[in-house]
Amino acid sequence: MSDERGLADAIRRHEERLARDPESLAFAQLADLYRKAGRAADAVALCREGLQRWPHYTTARLILAKTLLADGQAEAALAEANAILQTSPKDVQCHRLAAEVHRRAGRIDAAVAHLDKAVGLDPGDRESNALLALLRPDATTPGEGSSLARVLSDETFVTLSFGTVCLEQGLNDEAALVLTRVVRRSPDNTEARERLEAALRARSRRRG
C-alpha cells in the first residue's frame, strides 16, 4: 500500500511539473510512472505526444517501447526499439528489448543476435549472458555427462511434452533448453513459446 501511495504521489508531482512547463522533457518521467502504475494507455499517449516535439529523445522512445511490450503490442514495441537502434546502435537496453520481442515471437536466432550485441557492449550483463547460454544453437546441457544430459542431447526428446515434464519437475534450465529447440524448429508453435517463457520466468525467479 505504501508503494502504491508513493507512486501516486510521484505521479501527482510530475503532472504538476509538466502542467507548469508543458514543453519540458518531464513528460518521459511521467510516462514511465504511468507505465509502472499500469496505466499503459496514458503512458503511450504521453510518449507519442512528447515525441512529436522531441523526436530524437531516446529515453522517451524506450519508455514507449517498454510500455507497448507490457501492453501486449510486441511488434509495435519492436518498431520503436528498431527506430532507436538506427541512430543509436550501441543502446544496450534496446538490444535487450528487441531480443525479448523476437524470443517471444519464436524468432530465436534473431533474439540471439541482439543478445550477442548486448553482451558485446556490456560484458557484465549477467542476464543476457545466461540467456545466451540457453538460446544458442550450440547450447550445452547442464551437468554434461549425467544421465539427464545424455537424454537431453538426444533429438528424440526435443519435444513439447518432454520440455513440459522438465518444467513441471522444476528443471527450468533443462526445460528452457528443450523448449528453445522446439521453438527454433517450429516458431509458430504458440504453446511451445508460452512454455519457454514460463521456463525462463521460473528460472529468473529461482536466481532471484
Q: What is the pLDDT of residues 106-121, one digit of tens each?
A: 999 999 999 999 999 9
Backbone angles phi, psi at 80, to 5 degrees: -70, -40
Q: Which domain holds residue 34?
A: 1-83
How many domains are contained in the chain? 3
Residue 93: CB atoms within 10 A of its CB come to 17
pLDDT at 156: 79
CA distance 180 to 15: 44
**CATH number of 127's domain:** 1.25.40.10
Is the same domain home to 53 and 102?
A: no
Residue that is written with C-alpha cell 531516446 in the block: 58
Each residue's pLDDT tens digit, 22-38: 888 999 999 999 999 99
Is the same domain home to 11 and 74?
A: yes
Is the same domain home to 160 and 196?
A: yes
Cα–Cα distance list, 174 to 88, 178, 205 (Å):
35, 6, 15
From the centroid of its chain, how far is CA 106?
A: 13
